[in-house]
Structure formats: structure tokens, C-alpha cells
Amino acid sequence: MSILEFEPYKLYYNNKKNLRDFYKLTELSYALDDCILKENSILNIPKGLLGDFLTKPVSYSMESSYRLEQEEEWGWFTLREYAEKFNKTLSAIEHEIQEELIQRVGFHPETEERYILYLGSLQNLHSSLLENIIPPVGEKKTSTLSSHPLQSEILKVAIEHYNLTEETASQKIGYALLAYSYLINKQNCLTTFLMENLNQQCFLLNWTLFEDFIKKTIYELVRRHPEVIPILNSSGKLTYQELFEETKSFTSINDLVENIVRREILRIESGGESISSLIDFLKKYFSFTNDPYRATYVIEGISQSASHQDLEEIGKARNAIIHQQGYVSSDFFGVYPNIPRRENKILITSQFYLKTDLLLSSIAFSMANDISKKDYRLRQGNKAKRNSNS
């Protein structure tokens, strides 16, 4: 099984890609704004914001060493196929066509049956390019979407000279906007504030995506191995009445599994324990060939190894930001000296954010890779049974 066929990781991977793209584009826009405000020259982009792409060693997580592929079917779908693909009713699809919310509708030349054109990842291509690749009505195509994340990390950026010199009408408007920007950018602190805020918000999103991945992984493994349910360390026993009330609305065994997993996760979280406790929960019942805490990543050309301590530090920083706006006692930094600070407030620097992003991605990749390759065992008591489920 391909790693991207493991649904929890596929969702995590795609969300992380979107987050990384957002971060890089926003970082670039801040840098360009800062450049225009200071010198009106892109040659003077602050290295602290963009980095020296021509010489700086690259940084990447474990999945960047692999070529990840997934297949995508696109082309002409019947109304029923389209409804099933997007989990909608036929009447809902009919309504969307009538309201012109779905516009790419065609008729089969022989049967005159209606089809909807679904382009998937090609939907943003220019119409002139689409004309040459769209199949006849009624036909579909399959494309392999591949990516090598490291490629985007080692692209060399050539920055061309640009400045404002000629007094054209549009440039006069530009100068007026620049003058206004200078007024709100007193002491040149605006860009610094924006970058610190970007780092913090993306740091929190990174943690949320990782936490969701771990919870979905727990559910998926318990669903695959329901025999683990009787040995789960539940906090108490259900009465027949409680059992009846909780299960009377269930329609499948999956509902029961989801309910049990949710109870276990709530039990762990109610004790004030961190995401590392959820990983420890997985390690208690499943033995992975590769310890997730030993996942590796590369930061600025130097290989690093994840650790339980690193994950705990990230979790503590996240909790302090969420619950205390980042303000902590000096004792906190004594226990967690690697968390950056400004006086008594946690400061998510670009370096700390990069470490968080790569470390969490590598742990997720390590776990998902073992699961997709069936390189894990189900523990039973003090014994471990090699996985044979799909």
C-alpha cells in the first residue's frame, strides 16, 4: 500500500502542503513590502526574511526524501457518478446545474446522456490549454500526481533588479501608497511584527494538523484491529443502561469503534496530558518497526533526530500560547530552555517554526510509512503479534 493510501496521512500531507505554500507566499509578500518601504529595490530584500537561496543549506523533513505519488481520475462523469464522488444526492446535483453552479455540462453524442466535466487538479489551467487535453464527452483520464518536496527547497531564486524611477501616473499612486505605508510602519517594526505573528499562527496550525493526524491514526488502527478493544485501559466499566444509551443509535461496528476511541482520547486529554501521550497510547498497543521519536529531518544542511523532549517542548509552547497568550514564568524557561523568548513571553521565531514544521512532519511520516508497509505489530499483553490486516 502506498503511504498516500493511508487516509489519515494523505489528509495530513495535503493540509501541510497547503500550509507550507501559504507560509512561503506570505513570507515573500512581507519581504517584498519591507523592501519597497526601505529602498524601493528588490535587491535589498532582508536576508532574515527570505534567506540567501543561492547559498543557504537546505532544510527538509523525512517525506522530502521520497517521491510521493497518487492517482487522480478526471474527465466526464455521469450525474450519478459525480453525485457519488462528492457524496451528494442526484437532486442536489440537478439543482446546482439549474442554478449554474455547475457549468461544465455536456451531452454524450450517441446516448444524449448528460455528463459533468470534472478537472480535479487541472481546473486552474488556462482555457487555451484545456482545449487540447479534455477527452470527448463520456470519457475519463487518469493522471499520476507526483511531487518531490525537496525540489521546491533547492530551487535557486534569481532576483532581478527593480526600482521605481519614472514619474508615471501609476507610479505616483504607488508613491502615495508608500508614503501611507511609512506612516503606519514607524520605527520599521511592522514587518517584524507581521513575521512573528505569521510564525505563531502557522505554529499553532501545524500542531492542530499533527494532533488530528494522530487521533485519526488511532481510530484507523483500532478499526483495523478490533481485537485490541477488550484490552484498552478504560477508566471504568459501563453499566448495561449506559451501554444501551451510548449504542442505541449505532448502525455499524465502525460507530462502536469510533465511540470507544473517542472515549479513550477524551480520557487521556482529561488528565491534562499532551499529544505525546496519544503517541505513547499507540506505542502501548502497537509496536512500530521504526520508533516515531527517532524520526530524522534535515535543518539547514544538518541532520537532526526527533525526541520525546522536543515534542514535549513544542506542546508546552503551544499550550502556553493558547491559554496564557505566551506569557510564562521564568521557571518555565528554566525547564524548557530551547523555547525562544522575549523577556517572559514565548516568541516563535522563524527557526523554531521551521524545526517544529519538519519535526512533526517527520514523526507523522515515520508512523504512516510503517503502517502502509505493515511494519508494525499488535501488542497483546507482553507479546507482540505481527500485523496481517490490511
pLDDT score at 155? 38
Strand partners, 385: 378
pLDDT score at 245? 67
- Residue type at 23 in one-letter notation: Y
CA distance 181 to 171: 15
Can you tell me whether residue 97 is helix, strand or coil? helix
pLDDT score at 1? 76
pLDDT score at 175? 46
Question: What pTM value is reported for the model?
Answer: 0.68
Residues of the chain scoring pLDDT < 50? 41-55, 151-176, 179-180, 183, 186-187, 382-384, 386, 390
pLDDT in tens, 214-251: 999 988 888 888 777 766 655 556 565 666 666 667 77
The side-by-side arrangement of strands in the sheet containing 286-288 is 286-288, 376-380, 383-386
pLDDT score at 319? 92
pLDDT score at 250? 72
Judge contact between 210 and 278, C-beta under 8 A. no
